[in-house]
A and B are shown apart, each in its own frame.
Chain A
């Protein structure tokens, strides 16, 4: 059987979900027998070099670059998985969602208690910087998502069971302890 090709990305996330992928311990040896990684921070491949079977994404969309990467993933992966609370519902970054962006930026760069060094009172506006969105969006509000794995981070066993079930076609083993939102 040829290996399935997997891509991963962290958008507006903290890399905790990726850490949880590594938390499968020695099963990582089995994993590399099952899959080949393409674009992913795990192997540091920056751009897609072929069509992938599975894309696993942590983090929601908080800026224009996140949206672009997410759309690339949709184009290049047959199956897309939302990994973790941020991907599923915006997560902690989405705590800003009820507050207008202007207010957030002013608090972060002008009014907050730690902005002393910003003596010129600049809110970052370089063209190179991705544009911040009006709110943080769950992935499925931007592209079609096929599967969701909740948790902050999702338990390593949940990720492992899901990936193995997906690749082998077996029914997923989903014990009570594995579906958690924290």
Chain B
């Protein structure tokens, strides 16, 4: 039988299976730690750093840290929340996020974190880099202006033979998300939806969907991101 461990998050006693990733363990205990790149059951990428917590006094990303007995974790503190807000702001100025014209608006995790932290204006200057919209595959708009490099699509979306349909190209400033046009041509509707839903922002959009939910009925219109996790365990 797997070993159960006890630890605390912001003083709250939690239990989990030994070795479970902190971010998932927290969710199972009703505590939302913000995330953008993490997806349960995918190999952790640890790329966005928004889940940064203090574990026994040291900064660690919750999506790459397995829980250990007696860990003392800080998450919802003014300092950590400001670091997280700064990351959200960096992502907003680094890409080109024109929310009013984005189909993902209202259902977007990055935007929802902007709401959660009440980002009125980013503290950093806007980069306004030129990025392309890749619209030549039959089912998907790949809006590179909005990609936050979470690598979810790369890790999750494969064809029947296990080949990745999405991949990164370049490094640093020239890094961009790309789509294999040949493989994309054979994507089923289900796989296309899966890709769109996995993308935390509006970078992967299924064509001919558009603004499907009206304002007021979208995921984050009325409730902050993470409410579902926090509610279940109240």
Which residues in A have some Cβ–Cβ distance to B below 8 Å? 82, 85, 88-92, 94-95, 97-99, 135, 138, 140-141, 145, 147-150, 152, 174, 176-177, 179-182
A contact residues around B40 at 8 Å (CB): none
Question: Does the CB pair B100–A98 fall under 8 Å?
Answer: no
How many interface residues does chain B have, given as a range?
A: 20 to 34
Question: Does the CB pair B121–A98 fall under 8 Å?
Answer: no
Complex CA gap A85/B126 in Å reads 13
Query: Is B125's CB within 8 Å of the partner chain A?
Result: yes
Complex CA gap A135/B119 in Å reads 23
- Nearest-CB distance from B144 to chain A (Å)? 11
Question: Does the CB pair A135–B128 fall under 8 Å?
Answer: yes
Question: Does the CB pair A98–B105 fall under 8 Å?
Answer: no
A contact residues around B223 at 8 Å (CB): 176
Instruction: Identify A177's interface contact among B92, B114, B120, B222, CB under 8 A.
Output: B222
Question: Does the CB pair A98–B129 fall under 8 Å?
Answer: yes
- Nearest-CB distance from A178 to chain B (Å)? 10
Bitwise, B109-131 to A at CB < 8 A (1) or not (0) is: 00100110011111001101111
Which residues in B have some Cβ–Cβ distance to A below 8 Å? 92, 96, 98-102, 105-106, 111, 114-115, 118-122, 125-126, 128-131, 215, 221-224
Question: Does the CB pair B126–A181 fall under 8 Å?
Answer: no
Complex CA gap A85/B114 in Å reads 13
Question: Does the CB pair A92–B100 fall under 8 Å?
Answer: yes
A contact residues around B101 at 8 Å (CB): 92, 95
B contact residues around A99 at 8 Å (CB): 130
A contact residues around B119 at 8 Å (CB): 150
Query: Of all chain A residues, which has the CB nearest B116?
Result: A176
- Nearest-CB distance from B102 to chain A (Å)? 8
Question: Does the CB pair A141–B125 fall under 8 Å?
Answer: yes
Complex CA gap A147/B105 in Å reads 24
Q: Which 10 A-B pairs have the closest CB atoms?
A: A98-B130, A152-B100, A97-B128, A181-B99, A148-B120, A148-B121, A182-B105, A182-B100, A182-B99, A88-B121
Instruction: Identify A95's interface contact among B92, B96, B120, CB under 8 A.
Output: B96
Question: Does the CB pair A90–B100 fall under 8 Å?
Answer: no
Which of A141, A179, A180 has the most B CB atoms < 10 Å from its CB? Answer: A180
A contact residues around B221 at 8 Å (CB): 177, 180
Instruction: Identify A98's interface contact among B125, B128, B215, CB under 8 A.
Output: B128
Query: Of all chain B residues, which has the CB nearest A99?
Result: B130
Complex CA gap A148/B122 in Å reads 10
A contact residues around B125 at 8 Å (CB): 141
Which of A85, A92, A140, A176 has the most B CB atoms < 10 Å from its CB? Answer: A176
Complex CA gap A141/B128 in Å reads 13
Complex CA gap A141/B121 in Å reads 12
**8 A-B pairs, CB-CB below 8 angstroms?**
A95-B96, A98-B130, A138-B121, A150-B121, A179-B118, A181-B99, A182-B100, A182-B102
B contact residues around A176 at 8 Å (CB): 115, 222-224
Which of B105, B106, B115 has the most A CB atoms < 10 Å from its CB? Answer: B115
Complex CA gap A64/B101 in Å reads 26
A contact residues around B120 at 8 Å (CB): 88, 147-150, 179
Query: Of all chain A residues, which has the CB nearest B92?
Result: A89
A contact residues around B122 at 8 Å (CB): 89
